[in-house]
Amino acid sequence: MIRPGFPFRPALLLMPCLLVGCASPSDAREATAIGAVQGHAERSALVGQAVTVRGVVSAKLDGGWFVQDAGDGDDATSDAIFVQDAASAVGPGDAVLVHGTVAELDVGRATRTALVRTRVERVGEGETPVTPLAKAPTGWESLEGMRVRLDAPVFLADSGDLRRHDRVLASLDERLWQPTERHVPGSDGYRAEVARNTQRALWLEAADATWPQGFAQARSGSRIEGVTGVIDQAKDGHALVLESAPTLDPAPRPQPPTVPGSLRIAALNLENLFNGDGHGGGFPTPRGARTPAELAAQLSKHVAVIEALDADVVALMELENDGYGEDSSIATLVDALDAEGGAWRFVDAKRGPGDNPIRVGLIYRGDRVRTLGEPATLEGGPFGEHSRVPLAQAFAPLKGDAKAFVVVANHFKSKGCSDADGADRDQHDGAGCYDATRVESARRLHDWLAGDPTGHGARTLIVGDLNAYAQEAPVRALREAGWQDAFAVAGIPAPYSYVYDGRLGRLDHALLSPAFARRLRGAAEWHVNADEAESSGYRAGGTGPWRSSDHDPLVLGFDP
């Protein structure tokens, strides 16, 4: 049998007897081809019927094993099936006759076609053929239970389940993307991207195989090679149960980005920088560091990132909302930046902004830029309880007669569904919960900035965590109102700042007024965080700038 796009797969039972003690001709005539049992649909048409199948055991799992035959000549049907049987003393390589009843066993949101109430006869030995996959298949269902070898490029998408469930998420051919990063939620393009992700995504599970050293610490995007095993139905997709340990080609850690332009502005989500009482007590904090040692490690990572970005102004998200005194979290961060002599300052908004436990903030290099006038904030409506209150501040470079510019730090409501009601409920279009609140936040933000709250608004940058991917309504609303995507202006292909469920996208945006867009000279993200495993973070003792947050920072370069 030849599968389109795949090399020829030898037919085991048609070859001169590879089985020791092969079944008699009467046994062979008695057996039903496994493909006929599986059928073309997700559920077998023979459920409840008694059948006999003949093949070779390919893999053992908890509660049973897979048996695979030589194929029925139909590319759309799987040639293997799960046998619910924990008692028989059979293992990989055993040729068997299995008499049982066809059933569909629940596996999460799907089912696994199986034989239950079985009687097993060992009839010899053999080897199941392996199907090489040169690219992602059009669907995994037709390979369920079969041995495959992944010759297509395999990328590590997410290793977060490795310690808990002994599995990692991989992708074939290329990395996975959040559908709404590239397509409007609910559109045909969105649905096609969802289908492509389903086609390319595959869990790799270890049964008797062991993971090579370093897998739990590997960055997303690392290459995985030597992947052979049996395809199985998982609770959240399909899995390949490894029959031997694969090899890992770790993705390199990127150097800090450099951007042209003499004025640099950066943005960074701090992933909950809380400093206790500011005197070494007050731990564990409501969010973030649980001990003074963890806070010290967290600060060390943030300082390393901010210094490497070499920015004049940095917008911050997920900063503890605890004022601006010497014991505040923002003061603690600036003190850490200036520990060896520096000129970092913070914008003092007197209170807040807002009453949310976390807020946005602005810090700047006092030896490079100065503030102009007082900061401005926008409260009310969606800002406060849900979206964090925006903070705008005008600056001017110290050197020359360069014009003023305004940085507006933002952090819109997350996609979490707690207490979501009405239009804020998940519309099942890919945008998640609270999309309506984020759209209203974008509209009000634009209207507020149109009124020039700082008095210097011709050159303005909206920056921060908008909790919306690039093609979702909040970001589209701002672009349609005239704000320009800095990464599009700079000609940066396929930017991303966040990896969720192994899928790349941008929650963190930089949007420019037309006058400021004309001064842009470069834009970059530093993938210092989103691709890193949690084991690189401050709670796990990771060193260096890596995994200072779950979001990547961005940096923009301008001619002032």
The CATH number for 199's domain is 2.40.50
| Gyration radius from the chain CA atoms | 28
Q: How many domains does one find in the chain?
A: 3
State both tokens at 410: 């933002």
Task: Round to whole Å and give the CA distance between 162 and 535.
Answer: 11
State whether the Cα torsion 145-148-150-156 is positive or negative: positive
Task: Round to whole Å and give the CA distance between 492 and 439.
Answer: 25
Residue 163 sits in the same domain as residue 193 = yes
Amino acid at 519: R
CATH (domain of 424): 3.60.10.10
Residue 297 sits in the same domain as residue 442 = yes
The answer to whether the beta carbons of residues 12 and 126 sit under 8 Å apart is yes
Q: In terms of DSSP bridges, do strands 503-505 and 176-177 run parallel, antiparallel, or are they unpaired?
A: parallel
Task: Round to whole Å and give the CA distance between 289 and 394.
Answer: 32
Task: Round to whole Å and give the CA distance between 355 and 415.
Answer: 20
- Residue 540 reports pLDDT greater than 90: yes
Q: pLDDT band for position 212 (50/70/90)?
A: confident
User: What count of other Cβ atoms lies within 10 Å of the Cβ of residue 165?
Assistant: 13
User: What count of other Cβ atoms lies within 10 Å of the Cβ of residue 30?
Assistant: 15
Average pLDDT over residues 86-109: 93
Peptide bond preceding 353 in cis form (omega within 30 of 0)? yes
pTM of the prediction? 0.92
Residue 22 sits in the same domain as residue 116 = yes
Q: What is the pLDDT of residues 267-311, one digit of tens each?
A: 999 999 999 999 999 999 999 999 999 999 999 999 999 999 999
Residue 145 sits in the same domain as residue 87 = no
pLDDT for the residue numbered 110 = 87
pLDDT for the residue numbered 105 = 94
Residue 142 sits in the same domain as residue 123 = no
Residue 232 sits in the same domain as residue 320 = no
3-class SS of residue 369: strand
Residue 148 sits in the same domain as residue 210 = yes
Residue 477 sits in the same domain as residue 530 = yes
93 Rama sector, left if φ>0, alpha if ψ -120 to 50, beta otherwise: left
Residue 369 sits in the same domain as residue 450 = yes
pLDDT for the residue numbered 42 = 86
Residue 72 sits in the same domain as residue 119 = yes
pLDDT for the residue numbered 401 = 82
Flag whether 424 is in a domain.
yes
The answer to whether the beta carbons of residues 221 and 155 sit under 8 Å apart is yes
Task: Round to whole Å and give the CA distance between 229 and 12.
Answer: 18
State both tokens at 546: 């890596």
Range of the domain at 375: 263-558
How many percent of the chain have pLDDT more than 70? 94
Residue 188 sits in the same domain as residue 309 = no
Flag whether 88 is in a domain.
yes
**Which residue is it, tokens 């000549």?**
73
Residue of 474, 491, 492 lying closest to 483 (CA atoms): 474
Average pLDDT over residues 358-363: 98
Average pLDDT over residues 231-257: 94
Residue 291 sits in the same domain as residue 364 = yes
Mean pLDDT of the chain: 92
Domain end (from 102, 128, 154): 128
Q: pLDDT band for position 164 (50/70/90)?
A: confident
